[in-house]
Structure 1
Amino acid sequence: MSSENATSAFVEDWLCYNNILGEGAYGEVKLLVHKHTQEKIACKIINHKKYKDASAQINREVTIHKLLDHENIVKYFGRRQEPLKEYIFLEYAEGGELFQLIEPDIGMPSASAQLFMKQLLCGVNYLHSKGIAHRDIKPENILISADGILKISDFGLATLFRFKGKERLLDKKCGTKPYLAPEVFQRPYRAQPADIWSCGIVFVAMLTGELPWSDTTEVNPEFAKWKRNMYISDTPWSKLGNTALSLARKVLHCDSKKRLTLEEIERHAWMQFYFGSNTSSDSVDSSSENPAKRCNSMVEAETKHNREAPTVTLSQPVTLFRQSKIMQAMDNIRTTNYFSQPTQNDNLMLQFTQSPITKDNFDSLIKRMTRFYVLTNREKTLESLYSILDSLHLTWSLDVNGALTITTTDSHKNQLIFKVNLLDMDKKLLLDFRLSKGCGLQFKKKFIKLKECLSNIISKND
């Protein structure tokens, strides 16, 4: 079979949904569904005409990502390069980003946070064993599969810090400011403790629904209090019980040499505590994968804050990764050059069959808590949105496809961009809010505010 024919077979068998799953620095991510098997993959589409500096960055990302094979890492399936566009094929995580499961200012149940923390540490430990530092660990780069398995994604800033047993110090200040270790601003720094610090911020965010500071520079007042041990009555620390706070203090130690290692975090009392199962009968027992000892004396292990968070439904994680049908399918595709550059026709462009979002296929799309149905038609809904956005002094624009892009700044004065798609669904109108750039928790705060303002037109029955 020639490369050209193989490519044609691929195009004919896969549908590309119009709905965008997410956005990156150089493009957007869409969902591909096989017409016959219904297998799903995510496709990152990079427009080289629009992003002329993307090529070298994408090559570095792919070089690292293709080396990885672990249950808690989003799987890389292949790439296809064209003169003006490039397609990166990745594992589809139907559960969406981790931040979608974190209620702003509240967090999530401790049993869920513990389970996710264990999986995050497992994935980061695997990366470090390969000599790879992620350098941008945050809830927006952590995905959840349909089975409740955590998946680390986005290796655009990842780098090799150890090769043939020799470790090098890093000197590039990169990542997302609220998650950066203090030594990253000073440089040079060791890769592993810096990633561990970022995991610690994710830990605090999961339990409290907020970030402790906007950055870890000397002039930041919240971080200055942390360094001087004058934080105990301040939020988010006041929401944590003694044992959770103990773990946070040791993971977020300002001296990277005294910071806990991944192995030490796993042995910490909070990580070993038995929280029991989640409130849902369908939820997984947080200790079922790796049973922990019940610590009767640890009455402070649960956070003090009464978190009435939405139930996080998780399926039983599998101990060993089972080769899925999709992996087998993609292995077959790779051997038949489905993702290779066409050799017989360099100008051959990859055109997926575009498929609209309908009620029948909506359930297969990524899960989000930032959606709701409205009672009004498209015109009236847009009028209501325009009025509320203007009253809140939010900058907005409407594109040719009828999607709203809202631009603002968050409470840390960082840029926040999110989009609203109006989808016709079974004679109803669905408003689908999606983060485009910025902090997921800050985005959800804005969403909650807008939802409150639109409460008079929201359908209460859906």
Structure 2
Amino acid sequence: MEPTTTFVEDWLCYEHILGEGAYGEVRLLVHKRTDEKIACKIIDHAKYKDAKTNIEREVMIHSMLSHENIIKYYGRRQEPKKEYVFLEYAAGGELFQMIEPDIGMPSPTAQLFMKHILNGVDYLHKKGIAHRDIKPENLLINAEGVLKISDFGLATIFRLKGKERKLDKRCGTKPYLAPEVLKKPYFAKPADIWSCGIVFVAMLTGELPWAETTDSNEEFRKWREDDYLSESPWSKLGNTALSFARQILHEIPEKRLTLEQIVKHPWMRFNFGEEDPVDPIDDAQPTNPAKRWNSTVESETKLTRDTPTVTLSQPAMFLGRTPCMDQLVNDLVKTTRQDQVCFSQPVRNDDVILQFTQSRVTRENFDHLVKRMTRFYMDCKLEKALERLRSLLDGMHYNWTLDAAGTVTISTVDRQKNQLAFKVNLMEMDGRILTDFRLSKGCGLEFKKHFIKIKSGILKSA
């Protein structure tokens, strides 16, 4: 079942979570008559005491922006304990969903997305705004295949009235941070460009080059010392792409390519052909890693890209579950939820909250779910699907919990020992069970590696 709440007159609020952020979650609003969709970020001020100040800054910056490669900001509604921020809905989901772990994506698709990213970043920089957390998890794809930059929680203004300042806050996501950010102070524009370069490498190779840009990191040390050509991910790149990466990821900010220089680089200007570079996303099927474009630039790519070795990280030690977990599993498959969703008194009459309703997920309304490659079907009953999932997770020594709503939360660490959490929802649809995985915290590429391993194990056990 896919529960909904009538929200803002004729708008239905789907309980299916699109994503999670530092201070809350994002849900989908759908207009009952027009089928128009928007995303609603729900911030719980009672749960996150420091949310109010940070959200104020995020909303202030986001409300200044209007660009085809930036997620649109529509407005907000504030309440004493909660806040609702209304944003453009991107049906294609996060960019990392389109990156095959340890493989990447075809060069034409990566080139198109790089152009979109750079267009958005150029717009931000001309407005005097630095994003400071550019990564695949914050880059969304709409239904037409257009990439849009999202999540301005760490954004800041670096230029005001023509006067530019250096930044001194160390923030962002470690693998994407420019080396100067760790030393501070630093200039905003080169730091954002560095992050774009890491995204570029991730798109073409399906992996990140290093965990962080520190002297103690062996992978980064080899990059600095020009001792990297035989190392992955660089061995997967052709000469032109490698030259591009080398110039975007120059350790010295002043020698790093500017946005104006990036768009003129041969890799960015190369014509990969007339094919539509963005394939439609089939939620229940993986991408085809064998599909490649035949071009001069692509043929430079090393053979390792066509015969990749997928290395999966080890899960965290199994920590066990509460004694009532087995009973909770049984209760979930026997009872029908009658959740009551309640919002406080609306400020205006167009903020009316009516009654709770439910709507079953079918092929007809399946597009109400954000597109993900991290979902698949099981041909069995819900009770059997839950049993197969829990048995596999126990066998693989994952730490997992199950809440009363039927959501399985899996906690582990990635290869860099960073925390990784993802959630699984099982939904009955057309006589089958749609098994939907979504990232909750951590690296999207590492999450997809775990998904592949779990999916393979479940399907083999059928």
Band the TM-score falls in, shorter-chain normalisation: 0.7 to 0.9
Cα drift, residue 89 of structure 1: 0.2
Contact preservation (8 Å) 2:411, 2:420: yes
Specify every segment of 5 or more residues in structure 1 that has no aligned partner in the other structure, as ranges: 1-8, 284-295, 310-340
Inter-partner Cα distance in structure 2 for 1:308 and 1:424: 36
1:423 is the counterpart of 2:420: no
Cα drift, residue 23 of structure 1: 0.3
Inter-partner Cα distance in structure 1 for 2:278 and 2:253: 41
CA RMSD of aligned residues (A): 2.4
Inter-partner Cα distance in structure 1 for 2:444 and 2:348: 44
Inter-partner Cα distance in structure 2 for 1:282 and 1:388: 32
1:233 is the counterpart of 2:230: yes
- Structural mapping, 1:270-309, within 5 Å: 270-278=267-275, 299=297, 303-305=301-303, 306-307=305-306
Aligned counterpart, 1:209: 206
- CA deviation profile, 1:247-294 (whole Å, cap 9, x unmatched): 0000000000100001100000000111114478978xxxxxxxxxxx
The counterpart of 1:220, out of the listed 201, 217, 224, is: 217
Contact preservation (8 Å) 1:19, 1:357: no
Aligned counterpart, 1:252: 249
1:370 is the counterpart of 2:368: no
Inter-partner Cα distance in structure 2 for 1:417 and 1:434: 9
Q: In structure 2, what residue type is equivalent to 1:388?
A: L
Inter-partner Cα distance in structure 2 for 1:350 and 1:23: 23
- Structural mapping, 1:1-400, within 5 Å: 11-278=8-275, 299=297, 303-305=301-303, 306-307=305-306, 350=353, 353=356, 355-359=358-362, 360-400=364-404
Q: 1:120 to 1:442 in 2, by over 3 A?
A: same
Cα drift, residue 85 of structure 1: 1.1
Cα drift, residue 423 of structure 1: 0.4
- CA deviation profile, 1:212-270 (whole Å, cap 9, x unmatched): 00000110010000000000000000000000000000000000010000110000000
Q: 1:98 to 1:355 in 2, by over 3 A?
A: farther
- CA deviation profile, 1:383-423 (whole Å, cap 9, x unmatched): 22222212222100000011100000011111100000000
Contact preservation (8 Å) 1:112, 1:278: no
Inter-partner Cα distance in structure 2 for 1:220 and 1:34: 50
Inter-partner Cα distance in structure 2 for 1:177 and 1:350: 41
Q: 1:388 to 1:127 in 2, by over 3 A?
A: same
Q: In structure 1, what residue type is equivalent to 2:72?
A: K
Inter-partner Cα distance in structure 2 for 1:439 and 1:281: 23
Q: In structure 1, what residue type is equivalent to 2:184?
A: R
Q: In structure 2, what residue type is equivalent to 1:358?
A: V
What secondary structure sits across from 1:358 in the alignment? coil
Q: 1:269 to 1:364 in 2, by over 3 A?
A: same
Contact preservation (8 Å) 1:12, 1:353: no
Inter-partner Cα distance in structure 1 for 2:77 and 2:53: 15
Contact preservation (8 Å) 2:109, 2:278: no
Cα drift, residue 54 of structure 1: 0.7
Contact preservation (8 Å) 2:177, 2:195: yes
Contact preservation (8 Å) 1:376, 1:457: no
Contact preservation (8 Å) 2:139, 2:150: yes
Q: In structure 1, what residue type is equivalent to 2:385?
A: T
In terms of mean alpha carbon deviation, does 103-112 or 380-389 score higher?
380-389
Contact preservation (8 Å) 2:179, 2:213: yes
What secondary structure sits across from 1:135 in the alignment? coil
Q: In structure 2, what residue type is equivalent to 1:419?
A: K
What secondary structure sits across from 1:397 in the alignment? strand
Specify every segment of 5 or more residues in structure 2 that has no aligned partner in the other structure, as ranges: 1-5, 281-293, 309-344
* Matched residues, number: 406
TM-score normalised by length of structure 2: 0.84
Aligned counterpart, 1:286: none
Cα drift, residue 48 of structure 1: 1.2
Q: 1:457 to 1:378 in 2, by over 3 A?
A: farther
- CA deviation profile, 1:143-186 (whole Å, cap 9, x unmatched): 00100000000000000000001000001110000000000100
Contact preservation (8 Å) 2:133, 2:154: yes
Inter-partner Cα distance in structure 2 for 1:141 and 1:103: 17
Cα drift, residue 362 of structure 1: 1.4
Q: In structure 1, what residue type is equivalent to 2:156?
A: T
Inter-partner Cα distance in structure 2 for 1:131 and 1:441: 31
Inter-partner Cα distance in structure 2 for 1:354 and 1:81: 24
Cα drift, residue 456 of structure 1: 3.1
Q: 1:69 to 1:224 in 2, by over 3 A?
A: same
Q: 1:415 to 1:349 in 2, by over 3 A?
A: farther
Inter-partner Cα distance in structure 1 for 2:421 and 2:347: 40
Aligned counterpart, 2:406: 402
Contact preservation (8 Å) 1:17, 1:355: no
What secondary structure sits across from 1:363 in the alignment? helix
What secondary structure sits across from 1:454 in the alignment? helix
